Amino acid sequence: MANINTAGVDPTKMGVGRAIAVLTSGGDAQGMNAAVRATVRVGLYTGAKVFFVHEGGTVIGSARCKDFQTREGRLKAAYNLVKLGVTNLCVIGGDGSLTGANIFRTEWSDLLKDLISKGKIINEEAKASSHLNIVGMVGSIDNDFCGTDMTIGTDSALHRIIEVVDSITTTAQRSQIYYNVCVSVCFSYLALVTALACGADWVFIPEMPPDDGWEDHLCRRLTETRNAGSRLNVIIVAEGAINKDGKPITCDQLKDLVTKKLGFDTRATILGHVQRGGTPSAFDRVLGSRMGVEAVMALLEATPETPACVVSLSGNQAVRLPLMECVQVTKDVTVAMTEGRFDDAIKLRGRSFENNWNTYKLLAHVRPPETKSNINVAILNVGAPCAGMNAAVRAAVRIGLIQGHNMLAIHDGFEGLAEEKIEPITWNTVGDWTGKGGSELGTKRVLPGKYMEEISLNIAKYNIHALVIIGGFEAFSGALEMVQGRGKYEELCVPMVIIPATVSNNVPGSDFSIGADTALNTITTTCDRIKQSAAGTKRRVFIIETMGGYCGYLATMAGFSAGADAAYIYEEKFGIRDLERNVEHLVEKMKTTVKRGLILRNENCNSNYTTDFIFNLYSEEGKGVFDCRKNVLGHMQQGGTPTPFDRNFATKMGAKAVLWLTEKLKECYRHRRIFANTPDSACVLGMRKRGLVLQPLAELKEQTDFEHRIPKNQWWLKLRPVMKILAKYKISLDTSEHALMEHVISKKPPVHMTLTK
């Protein structure tokens, strides 16, 4: 999060006397508008003047300016900024745009001298604009800019791609047609994540050409999957894909290869610019907003000695990186590929890209060994179903089989474990599970406490050596009961890992839960449609109730992404005076050109201030100014196919969980048996700030509010003040977290050595 108030400075006066210009450049990307909105509104909140640079997509236009590539063009730009008193420039674009901005900053002093010599400006104007601060945000669907895990627009592009692939999948399931889906992108992130998200049979990316003989390997793979009963083979091809000799690999080439060698009816689909269009995903809206806030703070805190920086995302944390270091590493990727150092290229692309590549290789290019170990790993879903559960199961099953384990499926959660609903699960069983919503294994909220004896007997009967528990707060609570039962039932002394999966995002130990992103996108899309329904009508306010139990994550983040005027949650107490202020705020808002208002309410935020109460209050107090409508979204938030984020997140979580269990089983093997009773033998696998971490249940127990089924500390609460600023509330804001300038050059591998994966 951005540092809004440092050293006791009044945040509403940090920008007084300062001017900020915001521009978008290069190709447009969904989510840029959210970044522009946040930059403008937070800039105004700090007291700064804010200017748009039009045609600089987006609401202010986005373009590649040829004039700016010349010194004469940059001289014109400098003149315009000086005349407006702008010394802070926020640039949203790709590496080309950001590089150009840095050149502009480097030349600034000389440009001022030229303007003085030509009589365009006077010395006083030059002195007032003596240095130019530049902060960049990366807006690009390619996600090819080194230093950030995700660029603005990437997630939305993945939504468009997966929608197409899913549509092709349903078509193929009704016929015997075989498809090659070609993803048209300059670089490989979209292709790679699409391959993970749809369970593709093969992906071709320029950073890692296939080994010699890949044609025969590919044909064998397609034949194996068809013989196993699959009606669909998906091959993802990134633009620029090449073989070891540097020759292009294209969709048409692959289509001809499969048709001639195998006789399969094959179709090619090239997506093109469909990837750039559409509405932004919830992730991109929130990312753009968070980056916009951080960009303003970076500009206002900059000094003449501060290098131009880019605001980046590392895991779930906003960071600032020197712009030209990121540009240099991005260029180094191309150099490494040109020189045939493809392992280096993968590493230079960053940790996120490398993790995706390694996960893909394991799941797609490795088959289970013929000889099995004596280890049995069981998987179960617990709690309410959510999108992404099946993707986690698929990854866990396949990684387990690759490790040589016997994989067991437990149907209907802990109750199924007690009632012997246990059976082997195979590689092909989970083949098409990645894109399926709900829970194919079946899931129940029942906790294991009353079945502990039956569960212990069945663990012994089926010789279960480890458990993968995928679910929500019930999975967390149930695992705790299992650990507590170890003292009485020795059979429970097996390693176990909990993978958080719930729309509520309320499992301790993880910033995100599988399924929450899908639910958030459902809410955001619904809010968009509800607001649009009032277009052209009289002034109207919508009251919308979201799920989440006592956890206000969905209400808050949907408020962020849908542009809500208020979001009521349990974690932030409110009373009648707060409700009154919110109504007054909307009354003032309706006096402007804005005709719509949006209020979100978490289902358990307050037992007295119900959705009906808030609806009636707003309806009464808004009489003559606006009318109200209410919507309770209900279980539609749990349904649907998983988003690309949830598919990818679940796949990596499932793989990581089983790899951890494999190592833990080696530690726990004593006297020819598995015995695990240490605190670190039962952990939650979660995303924490910058990566996936495993935390013992015993530690997380102390961080949990069991009465309300939420963690005691939740990272997203720090975003709520910003949400209010974006809704144009005049509030006092003081946060302590500070995004410091970091470096990315040190992460570069040495050029002279080849790195192993």
- Tokens 């013929």 correspond to 370
Nearest to 501 by CA among 455, 469, 470: 470
490 class by beta-carbon count within 10 Å (0-12 exposed, 13-18 middle, 19+ buried): middle
Angle of helix 282-301 versus helix 154-172 axis, rounded to 10? 170
244 token code pair: 């070891």
- From the list 276, 197, 156, the residue with the least C-alpha distance to 561 is 156
- Asked if 504 and 569 count as a contact pair (C-beta separation under 8 A), the reply is no
User: Which of 188, 152, 165 has the alpha carbon at shortest distance from 283?
Assistant: 152
Give the whole-angstrom CA distance, residue 381 versus residue 412: 7
DSSP lists the bridge partners of residue 204 as: 237
Picking from 321, 265, 264, 471, the residue whose alpha carbon sits closest to that of residue 384 is: 471
Count the Cβ atoms, other than its own, within 10 Å of residue 52. Answer: 16
User: How far, in Å, CA of 744 to CA of 319, rounded?
Assistant: 11
CA distance 540 to 466: 55
Q: Fill in the amino acid letter for 588.
A: E
Among the listed residues 28, 142, 344, 511, the single catalytic one is 142
Cα Dmax for the chain:
91
CA pair distance 567, 726, nearest whole angstrom: 13
What letter does residue 126 receive in the DSSP assignment? H
Q: Please, what sign has the CA dihedral across residues 485, 489, 495, 496?
A: negative
H or E element at residue 320? strand 317-322
CA gap 556, 564 in Å, rounded:
9
How many Å apart are CA 608 and CA 529, to the nearest integer?
29
Residue whose structure tokens are 């975003």: 719
DSSP string across 193-207:
HHHHHHT-SEEEBTT
Instruction: Please give, one letter per residue, the 3-state secondary structure of 273-306.
Output: HHHCCCCCCHHHHHHHHHHHHHHHHHHHHCCCCC
Residue 384 in tokens: 């309410």
Nearest one of 172, 224, 222 to 200, comparing CA atoms: 222
CB atoms within 10 A of CB 211: 10
| CB atoms inside a 10 Å sphere around CB 744 | 22
Residue whose C-alpha is closest to residue 274's, from 163, 413, 108, 422:
163
Instruction: Locate 518 and state its tokens.
Output: 């899908």
Place of tokens 């290069």: 26
Tokens of 231: 């009606």
Residue 700 φ/ψ, nearest 5 degrees? -70, -25
The structure tokens 């932004």 sit at: 280
Q: Which residue has the tokens 């309806």?
A: 619
Q: Residue 46 and residue 725: Cα distance in Å, rounded? A: 10
CA gap 477, 357 in Å, rounded: 34
Q: Mark whether 578 is an active-site residue.
A: no
For CA atoms 71, 75, 76, 78, the dihedral sign is: positive
- Write out the DSSP string of 222-289: HHHHHHTT-----EEEETT-B-TTS-B--HHHHHHHHHHHH---EEEEE-GGGGT-SPPPHHHHHHHH
Distance separating alpha carbons of residues 494 and 496, to the nearest angstrom:
6
Residues shown for the chain: 757
Q: How far is CA 620 from CA 186, 205, 504, 600, 615, in A?
A: 55, 59, 32, 18, 9
Q: Could you list the active site residues?
A: 142
